[in-house]
Structure 1
Amino acid sequence: MITEQMPEKDLQLRLALNAAGLGTWDWNLETNLVTWSERTEEIFGYAPGTFPGTYEGFIDRVHPEDRDRVSLECARSVSEKIPCSFEYRLLLPDGTVRWVAEQGDFLKDETGQPRHLCGVMKDITSRKIAEEALRSSEEQFRRVFDEAPIGMGLTNSDGYFFRANRAFLEMLGYTESELKTFKCSDITHPEDLKHEIPYVQQVKRGEINSFQLETRFFKKNQKIVWVNLTLMMLRDKAGEILYTLGMIEDITVRVRFVG
């Protein structure tokens, strides 16, 4: 809870808010006057000192698709006397769309009665664009993974499968839930596993990015399938291994023909 006995924002606080890119706002519940900092005006596309100081001047800049939700959130906060925190879009007069995050709480008098609803807001457009790009890239990866004509599988840090595409499941005859109970080493022929392990260790140590070899996998019916296996580790920004991606091509027919 904020009380009116708290001191006014000093220069240090103002500098901190500016450095963080935060705008401030104050809604006087008695006079209905809305006061914005210059940063808030800037976020909403107003020239300094031109915000009309009304709720309408605020809500008119909210994106039409978000306007009802924002109005309801504001009304709920005021009627129930609870802090507000939400994200929404702005639609500026020049057609620019911005995302903002807003938080507010009540300023109360000595009797505990709310007199102002005030808070901060931040332009989060860059974050939203990055999130959308990530979702798009993840969706693209999922589509390529699932629809690839060759087998593809992901294993966790313990070596267990946690995802496989249709081509790989059909190659082995397992369902995905069945395959998740196995490590990659569990379905690899023991004679081939001893040749594969040194490469895996090199990749884990970061000495090589990936490797490719021909190996044998056991199908669900215990028959052998020869595959061309490409294995690579996918890491986070710190270099820690997130999971291992395997790309598996069935070469059984070729091996038998050559043999």
Structure 2
Amino acid sequence: MFRRLSIRNKLAFALWGAALLAFAVASAALAFFASLTLERRARQIMEPYAQLVSVGAEAAVAFEDPGRAREILNTLRANPQISEAEIVLGDGRLLARYSSRSNATFRHHPLKPDGVYLNHNTAELVQSLQDGAHLYLAMSLDELNRQTRNVLLVFAAGVVVLLVSITLGLLAALQRTIVRPISTLAETVEQVRIRGDYHQRVPASGADEVARLGQSFNAMMGAIQEQDNDLRRLTLFQRTLLDSAAHGIISTAPDGVVSSFNPAAERLLGYTADEVVDKQTPACWHDPEEMARRALQLSEELGETISPGFDVFAARPRRNLPEENEWTFIRKDGACVPVHLSVTALRGESDRIRGFVGLTYDLTERKRAEEERRESEAKYRRIVDTAIEGIWVLGPDTMTTFANARMAEMLGYSGEEMIGRPLTDFMFEEDAPDHLRKMENHRQGLSENYERRFRRKNGETVWTLTSATPIFDDEHHFQGSFAMFTDISEKKLAEEELRRLKDELEQRVQERTAELAAKNAELERMNRIFVGRELRMVELKERIGELEKKLGERTP
């Protein structure tokens, strides 16, 4: 029941309990002190009377005078607390006696040492007198007990007032300094728990432990608020990513029940999130036969029996192994969709699995593209294999990675014999340096057309017209070269024959030209002879004409 009390009631209970305990201890201490001092107080009262009696009774004891002794004892009536008094002689005879009670009788007192002796409600004093006599005084303790009770009552009242004042003051102080701040803190914590509002703060002033507690709480709330804001931003970011992701993202609890289902997964499978979250497992859209085959594969791989259920997706991730595979999803409308599925285990700080997340995407387009690529490759292969040109592909290390049937036929090898060999294996040694220079040009990104001769397997020469181009990947890394070769051996033979005929013709033309030159020289010589003669005849005719003219002038 005490645990159910509020902290204020607990503090009040503790303070009042402490006050009561203090009161009880103080009262017990005072009572104990009173009991310890009772003999001393009784002695303080009785000894003066004993001294008075012993002085006055010296003569009465010496002369054994009972009358004088009684007179002396009767003086004790002045103190009503003295209830009895006796003087006993050394031989045990009673000399005189005084009693405040009329019916009192002599009591034989055993011999005791001088001192004060306390009984239940009586204090008895024994004092030796002269000649072996003894004085016995008895005093009632009622008055002393009454005084003690009065003192105890006054003390108790004072203690009660003091303790009540102290307790109420402490309660008020604790209420102000501890209970109220802690209650405020508790109410704030409750509000935070209920509303999740991390903007709540508590008043915190001072330097005591409660103030530091409030300051620490405010600092903690500030840190939590900052983390909550970061978490909200991260959650919003993750939600945005999940909602806008092109791939389906499906998370599950450790037992396989779906815990999240993003819009891409909804589009892929035709289910809404409300239809599967907290209701279905991934087995809902998987082909049972596929799951059974995968379970057999995993059982053989892992060496333990894997059931054809959710374990086919979780067995490897539970062992920190990657799980990526192609599956066939069955949509809500019954259509089958080929997908790629990657499953990862979600682990906490203690490496405990808190769930699984699967990333999946539709392979329909990729499968279609692969089929088209295969068809294209087959078509390309047919074209390459039936091409009239030789096709030769070298890798980045200049080793042969592909040679079509026409290229192999040109060199007299099979395609398999050429794979993995450098192109220089099929060349003449003196042509190798030029080939290495051209490969370096290819690495620099240059494409070239040139003639290249090769040595066939049987040693014959094959001349080709080469068109080579380099191959680079998306990051512009050299991946080799691609070249097409056209057999021009017949052309080379024809050119050689044409060159021979040309040389022969040029020789014949030179010989004929020499003959013509000799004949031309002879003709020129004869021509010079005829021309000189003609000139002389003309000159002679001119002279004859001049002579005839002169002769005519002379003739009248």
Q: Is TM (by shorter chain) over 0.5?
A: yes
Q: Is the 8 A contact 2:396 2:478 kept in 1?
A: yes
Higher-helix-fraction structure: 2
Distance 1:67 1:227 in 2: 60
Displacement of 1:49 after TM fit?
2.5
Partner AA of 1:172 in structure 2:
L
SS in 2 for 1:157: coil
Q: What are the within-5 Å matches in structure 2 for residues 1-259 of structure 1?
A: 11=235, 13-18=238-243, 20=245, 21-26=247-252, 29=255, 33-39=257-263, 40-51=265-276, 53-55=279-281, 58-59=284-285, 62=286, 68-70=289-291, 72-73=293-294, 75-76=307-308, 78=310, 82=315, 83=317, 85-90=324-329, 92=331, 93=333, 97=337, 99-103=339-343, 105=345, 118-125=356-363, 135=374, 137-180=376-419, 182-190=421-429, 192-193=431-432, 198-206=437-445, 208=446, 210-259=447-496
Structure 2 gap segments, 5+ residues each? 1-230, 296-306, 318-322, 497-556
SS of corresponding position for 1:54? coil
**Secondary structure, aligned partner of 1:242:** strand
Q: Which runs of 5+ in 1 are unaligned?
A: 1-7
1:235 deviates by 1.2
Instruction: Provide the rounded CA distance (Å) in 2 between the counterparts of 1:201 and 1:79.
Output: 56
Identity of aligned residues (%): 21
Q: Is the 8 A contact 2:260 2:273 kept in 1?
A: no
Return the alpha-carbon distance in structure 1 between the equivalents of residues 257 and 395 of structure 2.
56
Distance 1:190 1:107 in 2: 65
Q: Aligned partners of 2:282 and 2:267: how far apart in 1?
A: 17
Aligned amino acid, residue 343 of structure 2: Q
Rounded to whole Å, the distance in 1 between the matches of 2:414 and 2:281 is: 57
The range that moved more, 176-185 or 76-85, is 76-85
Other-structure match for 2:184: none
AA aligned opposite 2:400: F
> Does the CA contact (< 8 Å) of 1:85 and 1:104 recur in 2?
no
Distance in 1 (CA, whole Å) between partners of 2:347 and 2:293 is: 21
Query: How far apart, CA to CA, are the structure 2 residues paired with 1:250 and 1:184?
Result: 16
Aligned residues of 1:155 and 1:243 also touching (Cα < 8 A): yes
**Contact residue 153 and residue 161 of structure 1 kept, 8 A:** yes
Structure 1 pair 181/123, CA: closer, same or farther in 2 (3 Å)?
closer
Partner amino acid, structure 2, of 1:25: S
Question: Under a length normalisation based on structure 2, what TM-score does the superposition of the two structures give?
Answer: 0.36
* Equivalent AA in structure 2 for residue 178 of structure 1: E
Distance 1:239 1:107, change over 3 A: closer
4+ runs of 1 displaced by more than 6 Å? none
How many Å separate the matches in 1 of 2:334 and 2:376? 30
Contact 1:229–1:249 (Cα < 8 Å) also in 2: yes
Say which structure is richer in strand. 1
Structure 1 distance, partners of 2:459, 2:385, is 25
Secondary structure (helix, strand or coil) at the match of 2:490 reads helix
**Distance change (3 Å), C-alpha of 1:132 and 1:35:** farther
CA contact (8 A) 2:248 2:262 kept: no
| 8 Å Cα contact 2:412-2:456 kept in structure 1 | yes
Instruction: Report the Cα distance in structure 1 between the residues aligned to 2:490 and 2:473, rounded to whole angstroms.
Output: 38
Which of 172-181 and 221-230 deviates more? 172-181
Give the number of equivalent residue pairs: 239
Q: Does the CA contact (< 8 Å) of 2:464 and 2:487 recur in 1?
A: yes
1:36–1:70 CA distance, 2 compared to 1 (3 A) = farther
Comparing both chains, which one has the higher relative contact order based on Cα–Cα distances under 8 Å and sequence gaps of 6 or more? 1
Structure 1-normalised TM-score? 0.70
Provide the alpha-carbon RMSD of the alignment. 3.9
AA matched with 1:37: F
In the alignment, the residues of structure 2 paired with residue 16 and residue 222 of structure 1 have an alpha-carbon distance, to the nearest angstrom, of: 66
